[in-house]
Amino acid sequence: MLMNVIDYIKTHFTMYNRIILMQFFLLFTFSVLFSQSRNGEELNIKKSEFKTEQEEGFKEAWKNLRLANDYFEAGVGTYGLARDHYLFAHQYNSENTVLNYRIGICYLYTDDKYQSLKYLRKAYDKNPDIHPYMHFHLGRAYHLVLDFDRALDHYRSHREYLVNAGKVQEVNEIDKKILECQNGKTITENVGLRFRRADF
How high is the mean pLDDT in each 10-residue block of the chain (200 residues)? 57 60 47 49 82 92 95 93 97 96 96 94 96 96 95 97 93 96 90 62
158/153 Cα distance (integer angstroms) = 9
pLDDT of residue 6: 58
Q: Looking at the whole model, is its pTM more than 0.75? A: yes
In the three-class reduction of DSSP (H, G, I as helix; E, B as strand; rest coil), residue 167 is classed as coil
CB neighbour list of residue 181: distance below 8 Å, 6 or more residues apart: 143, 148, 151, 152, 155
166/160 Cα distance (integer angstroms) = 10
Closest listed residue to residue 44, CA positions, set 23, 20, 18, 72: 72
pLDDT of residue 40: 60
Distance between terminal CA atoms of the chain? 50
| Alpha-carbon dihedral sign for residues 154, 155, 161, 164 | negative
